[in-house]
Structure 1
Amino acid sequence: MPLSPPSRALSGPRRRTLLASAAGTVLLVGCSGGDGDSGTADDGPSAADRTRVRAARDSRELAAGYDAVLAAHPALARRLRPLRAEVVAHAAAFEEGTPAPSPSPSASPSPSATAAVPARATEALAGLALAERELADRRAEALLEVPGELARLLASAAAAGAAHAYLLADDGK
């Protein structure tokens, strides 16, 4: 005797449909990059946004260091102004799309910052070279933790910072 289909009508989706849609939802959630750092207003800024803001702030602080050295050693202006201009350009690039504006790049150094600059120009240059090198190293480490375009920007700024450190340590040649 052949088996007949069930006599009762099924209401709602079948079990296979439910299982397939549940599996699809799990796959979509797993592939969405949801690492718990979505950057929504409830969660606060994303890791990339925090890195971008910090990089902009670091560049502004480095530019202020250049300003302090320039104020204390005006004879170094020809050598330092192009490097400072690149540091300010890095700050502007990092600030694109950040939530809050940073202080103006032309802000004059505070008297305490100028007082902290070594009296000898070679020591002041060595201090800038060290600051550039340390910042380049931090950026090189941070670029592993952020997405594509920001990672490329960090890598570019880190490479420029390493070049600046080399030029600053070049004993005036």
Structure 2
Amino acid sequence: MPSYPTPSHARTGPRRRSLLTGAAGATGAVLLSGCSDASSTDEDERPSAAARLRARAALDSGELLGHYDAILAAHPSLAGRLDPLRAEVKRHKAVFAEGSAPPSPSASTGSASPSASPSRKPAVPKDEKDAVRELAKAERELAKRRGSELLDAPAELARLLASVAAAGAAHAYLLTEGDK
């Protein structure tokens, strides 16, 4: 038996210890939800970075498509050779544009090259062979850039970039092999 007197009636309501435990638990839950909000913003940033990468890839494909168009306008006799490759580049542009976000002015000014403006028409050499070589060079450079960009891309976008980079390398090969 205890050496002190015990109350004869049972206490009703919460005890002080249970109130303190409940308050500590609620505070912990608030702190943990604050942590989870910080991680969700990181997850939100990744898709937006992927959307910006897709938008950039769509712009690059659009620029390459413009290059094809300029060469075909200057040298219509190349249509049989260039039309299938141009159609592929057009499909690449459409696929990249599907999930892309419009490029923000701050993002496009920092990463875009001056040649990336779609309104600028590329200069087309007068000689057909030189024009095709220039197109092959543009395909090769874009394939190389996409190959390096896929390292930082999410898995699905990385696979798409790899596939389109391989197609661009094949286009460059086909364009240069036709000269031989």
Same fold by TM-score greater than 0.5: yes
1:36 Cα deviation (Å)?
A: 8.2
Q: 1 CA distance for matches of 2:70 and 2:124? A: 7
Q: Which amino acid aligns with 2:20?
A: G
Does residue 37 (structure 1) correspond to residue 45 (structure 2)? The answer is yes
- TM-score between the two structures when normalised by the length of structure 1: 0.72
> 1:124 corresponds to which residue?
131
Q: Is the 8 A contact 1:133 1:162 kept in 2?
A: yes
Given the two structures, how large is their TM-score scaled by the length of structure 2? 0.70
> Which residue, out of 52, 55, 64, partners 2:57?
55
- Check the 8 A contact 2:54/2:101 in 1, yes or no: no
Question: What CA distance in whole angstroms lies between the structure 1 residues aligned with 2:44 and 2:65?
Answer: 34
Match of 1:169 among 149, 153, 176: 176
Identify the range of structure 1 (156-165 vs 146-155) with the bigger mean alpha-carbon deviation: 146-155
Q: How far, CA to CA, are the matches of 2:69 and 2:172 in structure 1? A: 16
Instruction: Report the CA distance shift for 1:23/1:113 in structure 2 as closer, same or farther (over 3 A).
Output: closer
1:64 aligns with 2:66: yes
TM-aligned CA distance change 1:36 to 1:96, over 3 Å? closer
Matched, 1:12 2:20: yes
CA contact 1:122–1:171 (8 Å) conserved in 2: no
Structure with bigger helix share is: 2
Task: Report how far residue 151 of structure 1 moved.
Answer: 1.1
Q: CA deviation at 1:127?
A: 0.3
5 Å matches for 1:94-113?
94-100=96-102, 113=121
Structure 1 unaligned blocks of 5 or more: 3-7, 40-45, 101-108
Q: Are 1:141 and 2:151 an aligned pair?
A: no
Larger radius of gyration: 2
- CA root-mean-square deviation: 3.3
Say yes or no: does 1:78 pair with 2:80. Answer: yes
Summarize the Cα distance change of 1:139–1:20 in structure 2 as closer, same or farther, 3 Å threshold: same
Contact 2:62 2:90 in 1 (8 A): yes
Give the 3-state SS of the residue equivalent to 1:119 in structure 2: coil
